[in-house]
Amino acid sequence: MQLLFLGSAGSFMTASRSNPSILIDEDLLIDIGEGTTQKLLQLGSLKTIRKILISHLHVDHSIGIFSFLWHQWLVERESSPIVIIGPPDIQNIHQILQLSFTPIDTFPFAINYEPLDPQENILEFGEISATRVLHSVYTLGFRIDRDRSVCYSSDTAPLDQMVQLAQNCDVLIHDASFPTRFTKQAHKYYHSTPHDAAEIANKAQVKKLVLFHILGEFEDGFQAMQKEAEDIFEGEVFIAEDMKKLEI
């Protein structure tokens, strides 16, 4: 199983990091922030994407879907359906396409929306499991089980439901937007710290922890934030960076 971080920034892009997006095994995207389509073009992987998981509709996690669909329509001329999986309001993407005068009826491919509403439970959808996490809008955390397993918290304050979703997975990709010294601020805005992520990872008994969605103002503190997690988590800790690959 291969993970490639196309975008790793938190909330806003920086000069070196795009908005969140993770490519799994060339065919599955988790979140699709701005810059995702360009990164896929650089990799030559645009045609292989048929399924996209969107955790929530905040701009940094979803806005790239529009350039992706336009490129598939205008350039690739693909005919295979695109499946977009997300929270109950995921079909609002269709309304934005209409508001932007996108001629959806001329697309040679279907866009199939799969809204998931697990509430406080874990919902299984084929190889994908999802649960609602603790953020300011309805947000999903995802788990993908193939030959290996990866769990993605998206934007969330720490919660026990993530322990259940990530139980015994190979890799947990967890929100670490703020350094631990800003714990109060992180939780106020429904985000987490490296300390929070490490505690979840320990409880879930995962093998590797990836700190994700670190805000731009803390880029100079990556090493310190990694150490904050390593002081608690018993496994390996990584910092997500754009175009960084992780084989599991």
Give tens-digit pLDDT for 42-89.
998 888 899 999 999 999 999 999 999 999 988 877 788 999 999 999
Q: What is the DSSP string of 38-64?
A: HHHHHHT-GGG--EEE----SHHHHTH
Residue 137 pLDDT: 97
Pairs from 21-24 (Cβ < 8 Å, separation ≥ 24): 21/64, 22/152, 22/173, 23/49, 24/144, 24/150
Report field, pTM of the whole predicted structure over 0.85: yes
Residue 5 pLDDT: 97
Compute the average pLDDT of residues 204-216.
96
Element (H, E) at 215: strand 214-215
Q: Which residue has the tokens 């714990």?
A: 183
Is the pLDDT score of 180 beyond 80?
A: yes
Is the pLDDT score of 232 beyond 90?
A: yes
Determine the Cα–Cα distance for residues 212 and 16; give it in Å rounded to an integer: 14
Q: Which residues pair with 115 in a beta bridge?
A: 86
Is the pLDDT score of 103 beyond 90?
A: no
How do beta strands 128-132 and 111-115 pair?
unpaired
**% of the chain beyond a pLDDT of 70:** 100
56: nearest Cα among 18, 95, 90, 24 = 90
Compute the average pLDDT of residues 20-32.
96
Give tens-digit pLDDT for 136-164.
999 999 999 999 999 999 999 999 999 99
Determine the Cα–Cα distance for residues 12 and 7; give it in Å rounded to an integer: 11
197: nearest Cα among 177, 223, 217 = 177
Number of CB atoms found within 10 A of residue 115's CB: 13
Determine the Cα–Cα distance for residues 35 and 183; give it in Å rounded to an integer: 29
Pairs from 25-30 (Cβ < 8 Å, separation ≥ 24): 25/1, 25/146, 26/2, 27/51, 28/52, 28/53, 28/144, 29/53, 30/55, 30/142, 30/144, 30/152
Average pLDDT over the chain, rounded to an integer: 94
Domains, the chain, in order of start with CATH, read 2-247 (3.60.15.10)
**% of the chain beyond a pLDDT of 90:** 81
User: Cα angle vertex 136, ends 135, 142, to 5°?
Assistant: 30
- Phi/psi for 9 (5° steps) reads -75, 160
Confidence of residue 179 (pLDDT cuts 50, 70, 90): very high
How do beta strands 140-145 and 171-175 pair?
unpaired
